[in-house]
Homo-oligomer: A and B are copies of this chain.
Amino acid sequence: MQKITIYDTTLRDGAQAEELNLTTQDKIRIAQKLDDLGIHYIEGGWPGSNPTDRRFFDEIKSCTFKNAKLAAFGSTHMAKFTPEKDPNLTGLLEAETPVVTIFGKTWDIHATVALGVPLERNLELIANSVAYLKARVDEVIFDAEHFFDGFKNNPEYAIQALTAALEAGADRLVLCDTNGGSLTHEIGHAVAEVRKRLPEASLGIHAHNDSELAVANSLEAVRLGAVQVQGTVNGYGERCGNANLCSVIPNLELKMGYEVIGQENLARLQPISNFISEIANLRPFMRQPFVGMSAFAHKGGIHVSAILKDARTYEHIPPETVGNERRVLLSDQSGKSNILFKAHELGYELAKDDPTVDRLLKELKLKESMGYEYSVADASFELMLRQALGKPLDYFHFRHFFVVDAKREEDPEPMSEATVIVDVKGQQEHTAATGMGPVNALDRALRKGLERFYPRLGEIRLLDFKVRVLSGAVRDTGGTASFVRVLVESGDGTDRWTTMGVSHNIIEASWQAVVDGINYKLFKDEMTEA
């Protein structure tokens, strides 16, 4: 089985993404996760470009990696300096990594226009830089910038640039589709040509997704002889991103028969993809292939009944191989099968002809048309199910709330204060609390009233709070009176659950979600203590 190595540039190229802002600590945590995943090369950054990247290379020196080799990235030396005096190359060596990757121009106009050097001089810059580094580090990788555009416009020059790097000692020549504009068959053709002209070279591919072809281009390059793929986790990167390693790796390993990170590591792909998006503070893309929340989610009634018979009918790979799982969705396209499956999943066995199922389906479709989306709020669905089964929860009864935010010009932030009145076990509790905002104040006031009776409520932590404005209403009312959906994810150290509220009023929507979240905890505790 041929081995393909994976070179991750999430911390360097990925970090150029518009919405990405990583601290040094974030980068170290991501690097450790990548190593856990079995990634072979981790490009840590560009030490010559900014202090954050330099700091990363200093701090990472105290970490040891099980699988990965750390790489520092930079450019060929500047035309006005010798390699020894070039601050860029000096910065690269100071990073003290086992691998150094430098990029050089291989498209003639880039050398002459963007860099402003004659073509021959550019070849010298490449050769000098590679030779200088190779004498001082274990492994030197040459990133042939804009290679495919260069090869299209002036193939001879592009090959000369590669040759210069190869003869100076580069261990790998990585062909970059820097603008992301190349088509898949063009990539294949160019890679095959390079293999013919430089058969002794070890090749890599570095694709960008501007044409939505980065993954396909990476696979095609491997098929035609490349042995390394450069990309990022979740396809992060400038503009449309880099080749998404979370798609490249399973395709190579599960469908093309290559040895990449191994089955055991592959089964950790989804949790690691999620973990990294959390560190990056980026919402995961639900429809992301292999690891996305929707990747194995079935909505249409026909699909659901088919996969329950034979999973191959609608799943191209078993979800567990990449650490994902199958999901059956509830929606207005739900049939009874979806409700029964969901109820069964939650531990309720319903008969197909049970009138509850019809009632539930009706209520579900009604609420979904108002903006509720039970497919993302399992706990709220379960509470609705119990209500429909005639088993509503009865831990407390709401009477009244009142919340105030007041700000004077000298206050940096408003003061928020709430009072809540609830009946609990026959007694009325009237509590007050301040908070960092109105919802926080209400949440604290409510819990104050309940914790005396239900001490375990102290275990709840709010893990995530999402607000979404349903744009239909924005158009209708044309103002800050939009219909709002709030999702609250709560946890208690053992479980995590998501609850939901929908209203024109953001306080009301948040209140519903918070109340459902508390009710669900109380219910869960009662079940486990029973």
The interface of chain A, by Cβ under 8 A from chain B, is 16-19, 21, 50, 52, 109-110, 113-114, 146, 178-181, 183-185, 209-213, 215-217, 219-220, 223, 235, 237-241, 244, 247, 251, 255-256, 278, 281, 285-290, 292-300, 303, 306, 309-310, 312-317, 329, 331-333, 368-369, 373, 375, 397-409, 413-414, 416, 435-440, 443-444, 461-472, 474, 477-482, 484, 503-508, 510-511, 514
Contacts and interface: CB of A to CB of B under 8 A. Distances in A.
A409 B403 contact: no
Contacts of A255: 181, 183, 211
Contacts of A309: 113-114
A465 B436 contact: no
23 contacts: A16-B299, A110-B313, A114-B313, A179-B313, A179-B315, A179-B316, A180-B289, A181-B255, A181-B317, A185-B220, A210-B316, A211-B215, A211-B247, A238-B294, A238-B300, A240-B292, A398-B409, A402-B404, A414-B505, A440-B479, A440-B480, A467-B468, A480-B510
A335 to B, nearest CB: 10
B216 A413 contact: no
B109 A443 contact: no
Contacts of A375: 18
A309 B220 CA distance: 33
* CB-based closest 6 A-B pairs: A181-B316, A216-B216, A436-B481, A467-B467, A212-B247, A440-B480
A468 B282 CA distance: 10
Given A316-B181, A333-B50, A413 B300 contact: no
Given A310-B114, A407-B508, A437-B507, A316 B443 contact: no
B310 A113 contact: yes
A465 B461 contact: no
Nearest to A153: B312
Contacts of A286: 18-19
B216 A184 contact: yes
B251 A405 contact: no
A313 B113 contact: yes
B504 A437 contact: yes
A299 to B, nearest CB: 5
Max count, chain B CB within 10 A of own CB: residue among A292, A406, A472, A480 = A480
Given A213-B215, A479-B461, A404 B407 contact: no
A462 B478 contact: yes
A498 to B, nearest CB: 14
B469 A437 contact: no
Contacts of A300: 16, 238
B333 A16 contact: yes
Nearest to A181: B316
A480 B465 contact: yes
Contacts of A178: 314
Nearest to A247: B212
Given A212-B244, A402-B406, A405-B505, A21 B368 contact: yes
B507 A482 contact: no
Contact of A471 (B185, B235, B281, B329): B281
A483 to B, nearest CB: 9
A289 B471 CA distance: 24
Given A209-B287, A375-B18, A470-B281, A481 B440 contact: yes
A235 B294 CA distance: 13
